[in-house]
Amino acid sequence: MLRMSVAIAVVLVVLAVAAVGIRRASAHLQHGAAAPDFTLQAAKGGTVETVDLKAALAKGPVVLYFFPKSFTSGCTVEAHLFSEHIADYRKLGATVIGVSGDDLETQKKFSAQECRSAFLVASDPGLKVAKAYDAALGFGFANRTSYVIGQDGTVALAYTNLDPSQHVAKTLDAVKSLHATAER
């Protein structure tokens, strides 16, 4: 039953991409743009809390990554990769936040299982935040877009690609660059 649900979700994501049309791989906010502020309900390890961009930026840079659907194969791979490298982000003072249009109950389970309770996973009903970040595909799915937001609230990196394999490497490099600049 779960495999069938996952397969259906994957087909829906593919259909959503096709229905919207082929989008530029670089459709996202540009480097240096002001990151839109947001407050969302999120889960970490199954526990719900409020995540606020301004509060997160007060602690350091933020890696904000949008993904299409919890428990689908690509999103699970991406969640595993981010969780495997969470210590690297923390050493650099960065906070990782995943966001999709899934409901909060789904995010609670996804955060505990696939994100390995390592970082916050936010529910974005109606994809309001995803739309503000130009990361919405339509039909209730976010595009796979990762941002690194500097403490000054501007976009330091924006990367869009449905392949989850490079999102961690790209965002980690951008966070390292911000860290090196701050140390100078």
Which pTM was predicted?
0.86
How are beta strands 155-160 and 62-66 bridged, if at all? unpaired
**157 phi-psi bin (left φ>0, alpha ψ -120 to 50, beta other):** beta
> In the chain, what is the greatest distance between 2 CA atoms, to the nearest angstrom?
54
From 75, 122, 127, 157, the catalytic residue: 75
**Is 184 a residue whose pLDDT tops 90?**
no
- Tokens representing residue 69 in the block: 């659907």
pLDDT tens string 26-73: 468 999 999 999 999 999 998 999 999 999 999 999 999 999 999 999
CA–CA distance, 72 with 76 (Å, rounded to integer):
6
Q: Is 115 a catalytic residue?
A: no
Walk me through the domains of the chain, giving residue ranges and CATH numbers: 2-183 (3.40.30.10)
CA–CA distance, 109 with 183 (Å, rounded to integer):
38
Residues 6 or more apart whose CB falls under 8 angstroms from that of 1 comprise none
pLDDT tens string 81-126: 999 999 999 999 999 999 999 999 999 999 999 999 999 999 999 9
Q: 181 pLDDT band (50/70/90 cuts)?
A: confident
